[in-house]
């Protein structure tokens, strides 16, 4: 079997060697992925080295930021429309409409870029011994929780999540009362929870049992 990750949702896939170079359907998200010629190496990250291999790597789906993307498109359309109207308007109103149109056009990237950067700069990792979340662009934040200290793994789905097949995985340790780390807006939530639970059984078999 060739094991690899779905490029759409990050779920772990396994296909027969005979399907190398062909297409196979992801059991989690249903998208079609190309089977690599050989099993790819697990992605390496500076904080996941030193004998702590990566078991799962992913991030929030673009669908989790759909509202921001739609808002940016609407602002862009309104801005362009206002500029066109300003060209046809009377001279007394043209200046005001032109200023409004420019402001709307400037607001479009302001609505789009933060969501896009958050999606691109928020990797989620599960290694053999840790669950890790990284976020931030100018100021980087990294949270790490040893898997043997995890007491609960939860999966929650808001109405928007259910519409787009997304979920949030929360991880809590015995040292705190609430959830410490979140994998927000991911598609392979059940696979992520299963991966963490499997490692818990390996590292702390007595406690999990």
**Residue ranges of domains in the chain:** 1-40, 49-60+122-209, 65-118
Residue of 72 and 13 predicted with greater confidence? 72
Tens of pLDDT, residue by residue over 137-186, are 777 888 889 998 898 899 999 998 999 999 999 999 876 666 788 999 99
Q: Indicate the CATH number for domain 49-60+122-209.
A: 2.30.29.30
Q: Which residues pair with 169 in a beta bridge?
A: 155, 183
Tens of pLDDT, residue by residue over 99-124, are 999 999 999 999 999 999 998 889 89
**For position 175, what pLDDT does the model report?**
67
Element (H, E) at 190: helix 189-203
Neighbouring residues of 100: CB distance < 8 A, sequence distance ≥ 6:
82
Q: Report the alpha-carbon distance of residue 44 to residue 111 in Å, rounded.
A: 32
> Assign residue 122 a region: left if phi > 0, alpha if psi is -120 to 50, beta otherwise?
beta
Q: Are strands 54-58 and 32-34 parallel, antiparallel or unpaired?
A: unpaired
**For position 51, what pLDDT does the model report?**
63
């Amino acid at each position: 079997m060739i094991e690899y990750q779905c490029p759409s949702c990050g779920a772990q896939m396994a296909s027969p060697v005979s399907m190398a170079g062909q297409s196979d359907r992801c059991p989690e998200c249903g998208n079609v992925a190309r089977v690599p010629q050989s099993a790819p190496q697990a992605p390496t990250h500076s904080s996941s080295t030193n004998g702590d291999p990566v078991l799962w790597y992913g991030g929030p789906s673009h669908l989790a930021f759909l509202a921001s993307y739609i808002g940016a498109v609407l602002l862009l359309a309104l801005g362009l429309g206002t500029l066109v109207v300003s060209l046809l308007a009377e001279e007394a109103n043209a200046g005001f409409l032109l200023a409004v149109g420019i402001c709307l056009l400037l607001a479009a990237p302001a609505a789009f870029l933060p969501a896009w950067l958050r999606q691109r700069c928020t990797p989620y990792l599960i290694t053999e011994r840790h669950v890790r979340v990284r976020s931030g662009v100018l100021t980087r934040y990294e949270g790490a929780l040893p898997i043997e200290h995890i007491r609960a793994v939860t999966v929650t789905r808001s109405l928007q999540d259910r519409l787009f097949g997304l979920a949030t995985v929360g991880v809590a340790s015995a040292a705190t009362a609430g959830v410490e780390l979140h994998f927000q807006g991911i598609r392979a939530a059940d696979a992520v929870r299963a991966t963490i639970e499997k490692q818990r059984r390996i590292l702390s078999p007595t406690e999990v049992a």
